Amino acid sequence: MIKRKLGALIYYAFAKKLPPSYSGLKLGQTAIRRFCGKLMLKECGKKVNIEKNASFSYKVSLGDYSGLGVNSKIYGSCAIGHHVMMGEDVTVITRNHKFDRVDIPMMDQGFEQERPVTIGNDVWIGDRVIILGGVEIGDGSVIGAGSVVTKSIPPYSIAAGVPCKVIKTRK
């Protein structure tokens, strides 16, 4: 637990604000954020890339050669496979507010149970994608920019839209 707190302190006070990896400035930002990820994440693979302003839960597992995009936000349990590319402003939400009762305000109803998200290996997630709880994105899939993923996506699919739907297969 001390390890996670130390990683969070370094990350949120300093490393999160460093320039993105693709900037012309070479300040060791990729290595520093990777170091913080190894301290903070549930599991952290080799040669991961955590970009500027990424926010994530300690319940995230990040596979080898995978990345969290600039300004990405991952709330709750999320298993990200190997060789996953993530665009900017991607959001993963694993739980939501309850709203089934009308006799009390929604803000007083609490939260649904967390529903973990699983992202397979060799997946490309475009900019500004939102992934909701309980979703599994299969190996080799591509998720188009701006999509809202509400249901699981089969392996080797190209999917896009609001809500996200399979539009083509890669095989």
Residues known to be catalytic:
97
Angle at 75 between CA 117 and CA 16, to 5 degrees: 125
Angle at 106 between CA 129 and CA 56, to 5 degrees: 35
Given a contact cutoff of 8 angstroms between Cβ atoms, the answer to whether 111 and 94 are in contact is no
Q: Please state whether beta strands 165-169 and 157-160 pair in parallel, antiparallel, or not at all (unpaired).
A: antiparallel
> For residues 11 and 17, what is the distance between their CA atoms, to the nearest angstrom?
8
Does residue 12 sit in helix, strand or coil? helix
**What string of DSSP letters covers 106-149?**
GGGS-BPPP--EEE-SS-EE-TT-EEETT-EE-TT-EE-TT-EE
Task: State the CB neighbour count (10 A cutoff) for residue 122.
Answer: 19
> For residues 24 and 48, what is the distance between their CA atoms, to the nearest angstrom?
19
